[in-house]
Amino acid sequence: METRIGFGWDSHAFKAGIPLRVGGMTLDHPEGLAGHSDGDVLLHAVTDALLGAVAAGDIGSFFPPGDPRWKDANSAIFLKLAMEELQHAGFRIVNVDTTLIMNAPKIAPVAGEMRSTVADLLGIEMDQVSIKAKTPEGLGLDHVAQCHAVVLVERAIEPDELKSMSAVIESQKQLEDVVDDLLASVHGLPKKRPVNPVYDTEDIT
């Protein structure tokens, strides 16, 4: 099975007077993140990671910051497009690992709900999403939020690539041989020996 990884990173400065959107959620905080869209630093990083995994460019390639159509846009739109690119390339998500770097607010109290929200947006299970948070100690970035994201994806088996056994078995005898081989290899059972007739079937009168 072919696997790939993708890495994404994003950062936004805090700004008063706008809601704080992180991981698809609105958090209680006096400042939000400045950006052309809603500034959701986590969804932006995951979007870039997904696009990177299938070499499809980056978020700015599809949603230029100067395009008025994306002013204050919900970042879930960007994530949806990245998922479409991933599926078009024939891949699916194995897991997503993210690290938020921000001084405030604290993410730990809402990390579970945020993981669930992101999992829903990606169409995967909650246990496939990790969200961690660190403070930018000693970096002088107390007024900035950053996010690192890594995704692992694997080649998906498309329905049209699947062939039923009946489509490749040309006869009942071949089917019996296949079953016989499976039993022998999986359960260690001896293969059935062909039963030879005790008389010559060509000499019956």
Task: Single out the residue of 159, 150, 164, 162 nearest to residue 3, CA to CA.
Answer: 150
Indicate if the alpha-carbon torsion angle 77, 13, 68, 85 is positive or negative.
negative
Taking only the tens place, the pLDDT of each residue in 47-95 is 999 999 999 999 988 888 778 888 888 999 999 999 999 999 999 999 9
Contact between 10 and 146 under an 8 Å Cβ cutoff? The reply is yes
User: How confident is the model over 4-18, as a mean pLDDT?
Assistant: 95
Q: Residue 94, Cα to own-chain centre: how many angstroms?
A: 5
pLDDT for position 165: 40
Q: What is the pTM of this model?
A: 0.75
Q: Residue 114, Cα to own-chain centre: how many angstroms?
A: 16
Per-residue pLDDT at 183 exceeds 60: no
The Cβ of residue 131 has, within 10 Å, a number of other Cβ atoms equal to 24
Taking only the tens place, the pLDDT of each residue in 100-158 is 999 999 999 999 999 999 999 999 999 999 999 999 887 777 789 999 999 999 999 65
Q: Could you give the CA distance from residue 64 to residue 127 in angstroms, rounded to a whole number?
A: 32
Strand pairing partners for 33? 14
Task: Single out the residue of 14, 203, 191, 195 nearest to residue 101, CA to CA.
Answer: 14
pLDDT for position 200: 53
Of how many residues is the chain composed?
Answer: 205
CATH code for the domain defined by 3-157: 3.30.1330.50
Q: Tokens 């007024």 identify what position?
A: 143
Taking only the tens place, the pLDDT of each residue in 143-182 is 899 999 999 999 996 545 544 444 444 555 565 665 566 5
Banded model confidence at residue 201, pLDDT cuts 50, 70, 90:
very low
Q: Could you give the CA distance from residue 129 to residue 120 in angstroms, rounded to a whole number?
A: 10
pLDDT for position 173: 58
Banded model confidence at residue 192, pLDDT cuts 50, 70, 90:
low
Structural domain spans, the chain: 3-157, 163-203
Does residue 105 have a cis bond before it (omega within 30 degrees)? Answer: yes
Strands (E), the chain: 3-16, 20-22, 25-27, 31-33, 91-101, 129-134, 144-155
Pairing mode of beta strands 20-22, 3-16: unpaired
User: How confident is the model over 35-49, as a mean pLDDT?
Assistant: 94
When the pLDDT of each residue in the chain is averaged and rounded to a whole number, the result is: 83
